[in-house]
Amino acid sequence: MASWNQPQEEEEEAEEAAAQKIQIYSTSNTGVSPFWRDKYERDAKKYWDVFYKRHQDKFFKDRHYLDKEWGHYISGDGKKEILEVGCGAGNTIFPLIATYPDVFIHACDFSPRAVNLVKTHKDFTETRVSAFVCDLTIDDLSKHISTSSLDIVTMIFVLSAVSPEKMPLVLQNIRKVLKPSGRLLFRDYSVGDLAQERFAGKDQKISENFYVRGDGTRAFYFSNDFLTSLFKENGFDVEELDLCCKQVENRSRELVMNRRWVQAVFRVTDGLNSSSCNEASVKVDLFGQESVKPEVAKNALKESVNNFEVDLSESVASEMFGISSPEEDEMIEVYPRGCSLKIRVLSKEYQHTCKSTGLMLWESARLMADVLARNPIIVAGKRMLELGCGCGGICSMVATRSADLVVATDGDPKALELLNRNVTSNLKPPFVDKLITNRLEWGNRDHIEAIKEVNKGGFEVILGTDVTYVPEAILPLFATAKELISSSNKDIREDQQPALILCHIFRRVDEPSLLSAASQFGFRLVDRWPSPVTTNPTKSIISSWFTENGSEECIPSAALHIMYFLVD
């Protein structure tokens, strides 16, 4: 049987290296699962309500560009009645009533919190605005607004949040309340937008051109053909259709971002003068510059991001700049025996679309942190290595109270960045001086050698919590542990020999597969919990951690297992 260090033929060595440079998080791009697809649809209102709860009216800018873009439709003699669909916090409503004294605006949104923000706005008055909760995919709009009474309907970055299969319901609902001479003013995301390109490398695709953001809200990206067909099939003709392109430069971060959106005007089909897409005014527009080809528009305009007026959701903005906003983190508190730790992790509402498993705190880490706190003898006077510690690192932080040296590792740079923040905010000297953080992709020779430089003698305890659920990562896991574990001393008791301790819930990898991989690299299972290897519980190493110290009361899940390995 070949060992980790045994010489290989060049091709075999390259194949092995490629196979073993695997981190514990999946890099597949399979799209959103049916379960989550249904959940996003079912809970769409809730996700937007949470959005407005967090951001209130501070996120979107007021849309003062409306007068420039569509003022000739809104101005004129006589009172105009307007419906703002998806009113949000009122960023369309209040600029309009300030500019046009004769307009009355009906405003609806399916988020109750958004409608409440409109009603509590300092400029809200019932003589100018009627705001109400309405889901246009379900509710009958004519119960709130008289049939064929509206001069204008505005839909600005709203239809993209609706499932494509339900968009016809929205348009049919609107058509009932729009006058035959009325206009629907439309602006929304276009295919090829930077945000869509960002989604392409992630498991966030729901269907063609339809994606979920990190906060659970969704976005559809329209092509001209799709948009004109959708409206035409539901009783609208295209009057204007513009593809708008804008290049935004963030000089401080040296980023150039290409944004694309569709701007259109639709009118109700009269049955006699119906126009096709080819007859409508279709052009590429660069904020007022007509007939600009897309490839020219792409490089034509650069502006500071601070002056960028296209509406952005929070997840789009953070992905554009490659940074996390403070709102994407949440603080949780854990209380291993004798200590209190405040840990920043990725907010739960983002975890379902995040590839990295290292940005959240797993139940196995909670259990092992408590075990180490109640049984300091496990690492007392020893050097401990934690594999795949993630951003929390709570086991490593607890271990510093009794270990001589603790090295916390993960393969995800973002997890390590957050880990360092957590360590700094929770540990003080002398404990913080005993904890080192390092990047370690299992099987990565450079990373392994860097760990060896930190501790040349190997580690007496190697710990991994919930690091065993990706099948392709199991062999690299044991191979790396074999490289970094201290040489075994057969003359001392088993519970004092260098050990590899794994705590996990069995998911995609079962126990026989783990044992097979372990044996390939010289690891032998000497104990496990809750079913000890020995028939005599008093001789079980792991059981003693619980029965003597009462840790069973802190077990967060009955599905958790602990495996204790020694080196043959």
Which pLDDT tens digit goes with each residue over 409-434?
999 998 999 999 999 999 999 999 99
- Provide the token pair at 500: 């590899």
Residues 341, 284 share a domain:
no
In a domain, 14, yes or no: no
Domain boundary pick from 268, 286, 321 = 321
Same domain, 491 and 375: yes
**Beta bridge mates, 285:** 244
Is residue 21 in some structural domain?
no
Mean pLDDT of 558-567: 92
Residue linked to tokens 């450079």: 446
What is the DSSP code (8-state) at residue 62?
Answer: P
Kindly tell me if the per-residue pLDDT of 552 is higher than 80. Answer: no
Q: Is there a single domain that holds both residue 260 and residue 368? A: no
Amino acid present at 14: A
Burial level of 241, CB count in 10 A (0-12/13-18/19+)? buried
Q: Give the span between the Cα atoms of 108 and 133, in whole angstroms.
A: 5
Quick one: pLDDT at residue 324?
42
390 and 308 together in one domain: no
Question: Do both 467 and 402 map to the same domain?
Answer: yes
Mean of all residue pLDDT scores within the chain: 81
pLDDT single digits (tens) 276-294: 444 444 444 443 333 333 3
Residue 414, domain member (yes or no): yes
- Encode pLDDT of 189-223 as tens digits: 999 888 887 776 667 889 999 999 888 889 999 99
Residue with tokens 């074999």: 482
Q: Are residues 384 and 492 in the same domain?
A: yes
Instruction: Round to whole Å and give the CA distance between 163 and 49.
Output: 17
Q: Classify residue 493 by burial, with Cβ atoms within 10 Å: 0-12, 13-18, 19+.
A: exposed
Average pLDDT over residues 287-312: 37
Lowest mean pLDDT among 235-249, 439-453, 473-487: 235-249
Cα distances (Å, whole numbers) of residue 414 to 118, 350, 391, 551: 38, 14, 8, 32
User: Alpha carbon 251 to chain centroid distance?
Assistant: 26
**Which uninterrupted H or E stretch holds 246?**
strand 236-250
Range of the domain at 535: 328-567
Nearest to 116 by CA among 195, 56, 38: 56
Q: Residue 112: pLDDT above 60?
A: yes
Does any domain span residue 8?
no
Predicted local confidence at residue 36, as pLDDT: 87
Strands 523-529 and 560-567 come out as antiparallel
> Is 27 a domain residue?
no
Lowest mean pLDDT among 62-76, 241-255, 359-373: 241-255
- What percentage of the chain has pLDDT greater than the value 90? 54
The domain that holds 453 is classified in CATH as 3.40.50.150
d(CA 184, CA 262): 14
